[in-house]
Amino acid sequence: MDAKHQSPHRRWNPLRQSWVLVSPHRTQRPWQGEVAQKMTPSAAAYDPQCYLCPGNERAGGATNPAYGSVFAFVNDYAALLPETPVPMETEAPLLKAEPARGLCKVLCYHPDHSLTLARMTREEIRPVVDAWAREYEELGRMDWIEYVQIFENRGAMMGASNPHPHGQIWSTEFLPDEAAAETKAQREHLALTGCCLLCEYLATEKAVAGAEGRIVFENEHFVALVPWWAVWPFEVLLLSKRHVGAMPAFTSGERDGLADVLKRLTTRFDNLFETSFPYTMGFHQEPTDNKAHPEWHFHAHFYPPLLRSATVRKFMVGFEMLGMPQRDITPEAAAERLRGASEVHFWPRTT
Ligand SMILES: [Zn+2]
Ligand SMILES: [Zn+2]
Ligand SMILES: [Zn+2]
């Protein structure tokens, strides 16, 4: 690799308008920290104790239908509620608070308890893509909902309470901080240059080739890359090639393309350390505030915590909590590792 990236430097994240510190020489330091358990996929297709499996009773008392594909329901333990809230009383100007309304749903991807996106087929992931698009559209159409955040926490390391393949959809009457920061950055870039920030970024990445490149792979409609400003060791940004603000605008071919790119990326992740690779992933789409958002470009972020093996994770502590995020392995080296990972899963399916 080019020596210019091997000394300590900081990189600008134009989407978040913040810096990340890159310290490639630190990857040589000895490791005496936490060693976590290696995670293997669950073996049982049905778990009588699982509150997401078909036909089972949930903690709230409802019973799941005998669903055969995807299944969505309102979270029994929702962090936000749709009821009109009680006005807040303020005791001092500094102690600011506002009522926060929202609607939290759970989406089961598949009836089989043992599967993950990585071990589902493209044909099985396509209905999940359609469900995401449908939920975004239905929730976004409610006049009080300004933003729909679709995400998935995968693995106990990322706080997932249940291995059953599922994700969450939190919709809110306000714009959350990450979406607000990216709206501001994309709007400013469009106003300043006349170009979409992420269309320009994608063109920039496509012009870089070889070991310097950060593109992991692409299909007809999407690109998977380790962004220039990645914070997590194997962080990946999925970008649509077409300038689209949200999933409902995707063609049938683009929806197949999204299923394909999700399958291939999660398989590479699992194969990297031969483990069920933990991550938080989510889609960033235009706000549903009934305003035009020509600045917004659809994308997904994957934030996986693993650093150098199935058992050694990255921690955000010390300088990162008090100063700024920092990484050791360069984004270029991470992209190289992911390019080298197989798209055939190390743990084949029997069902
Ligand atoms: Zn289950
Ligand atoms: Zn764009
Ligand atoms: Zn984003």
Angle, alpha carbons 225-275-320 (nearest 5°) = 55
Look up 166 and say whether it is catalytic.
Answer: yes
Q: Which two tokens stand for residue 194?
A: 């006349």
Q: Is pLDDT of 122 > 70?
A: yes
Percent of the chain with pLDDT over 70: 93
Shortest-distance ligand to the CA of residue 51: 1
Domain boundaries, the chain: 3-340
Q: Is the dihedral of CA 215, 218, 221, 224 positive or negative?
A: negative
Buried residues in 67-95 as b, exposed as e (16+ CB within 10 A)? eeebbbeebeeeeeebeeeeeeeeeeeee
d(CA 295, CA 303): 24
Q: pLDDT band at residue 212, thresholds of 50, 70 and 90?
A: confident
Shortest-distance ligand to the CA of residue 149: 3
How many angstroms separate the alpha carbon of residue 261 from the centre of ligand 2? 18
Query: How far is the CA of 326 from the CAs of 6, 312, 332, 334, in angstroms?
Result: 14, 16, 15, 15
How many angstroms separate the alpha carbon of residue 46 from the centre of ligand 3? 35
How many angstroms separate the alpha carbon of residue 109 from the centre of ligand 1? 11
- Of 322, 303, 183, nearest to 246 by C-alpha is 183
The pLDDT value recorded for residue 240 is 98
Shortest-distance ligand to the CA of residue 49: 1
The three-state secondary structure class of 280 is: strand
Query: At how many degrees (to 10) do helices 122-141 and 252-272 cross?
Result: 120
Lowest mean pLDDT across 29-38, 58-67, 72-81, 207-216: 29-38
Q: Is pLDDT of 194 > 50?
A: yes
The pLDDT value recorded for residue 86 is 80
Q: Is pLDDT of 2 > 60?
A: no
Shortest-distance ligand to the CA of residue 181: 3
How many angstroms separate the alpha carbon of residue 198 from the centre of ligand 2? 5
Q: pLDDT band at residue 4, thresholds of 50, 70 and 90?
A: low
Q: pLDDT band at residue 30, thresholds of 50, 70 and 90?
A: low
Indicate the residue type of 252: S
How many angstroms separate the alpha carbon of residue 34 from the centre of ligand 1? 29
Lowest mean pLDDT across 106-120, 122-136, 198-212: 198-212
Shortest-distance ligand to the CA of residue 302: 3
How many angstroms separate the alpha carbon of residue 119 from the centre of ligand 1? 15
Q: How much is the mean pLDDT over the chain?
A: 92
The pLDDT value recorded for residue 120 is 96
> Which residues are within 5 Å of ligand 2 (an ion), measured at CB?
196, 198-199, 243, 297
For residues 198-216, average pLDDT: 90
How many angstroms separate the alpha carbon of residue 160 from the centre of ligand 3? 21
Q: Which of 113, 164, 166, 301 is catalytic?
A: 166
Q: Is pLDDT of 1 > 50?
A: no
Shortest-distance ligand to the CA of residue 113: 1
Chain CA centroid to CA 158, Å: 12
Topology of domain 3-340 in CATH is HIT family, subunit A (3.30.428)
| Tens of pLDDT, residues 282-303 | 999 999 999 999 999 999 999 9
- pTM of the full predicted structure? 0.94
How many angstroms separate the alpha carbon of residue 47 from the centre of ligand 1? 5
Chain CA centroid to CA 284, Å: 9
Contacts of 260 (CB under 8 A, 6+ apart): 122, 219, 222
Q: Is pLDDT of 38 > 50?
A: yes
- Of 282, 321, 305, nearest to 179 by C-alpha is 282
How many angstroms separate the alpha carbon of residue 239 from the centre of ligand 3? 10
| Tens of pLDDT, residues 233-255 | 999 999 999 999 999 999 999 99
How many angstroms separate the alpha carbon of residue 41 from the centre of ligand 1? 13
Percent of the chain with pLDDT over 90: 74
Give alpha helix (H) positions in the chain: 122-141, 177-193, 197-206, 252-272, 319-322, 331-340
d(CA 185, CA 297): 12
Q: Are 226 and 235 in contact (CB under 8 A)?
A: yes
Give alpha helix (H) positions in 216-349: 252-272, 319-322, 331-340
Contacts of 92 (CB under 8 A, 6+ apart): none
For residues 21-29, average pLDDT: 78
Q: Is pLDDT of 351 > 80?
A: no
How many angstroms separate the alpha carbon of residue 15 from the centre of ligand 3? 7
For residues 178-196, average pLDDT: 98
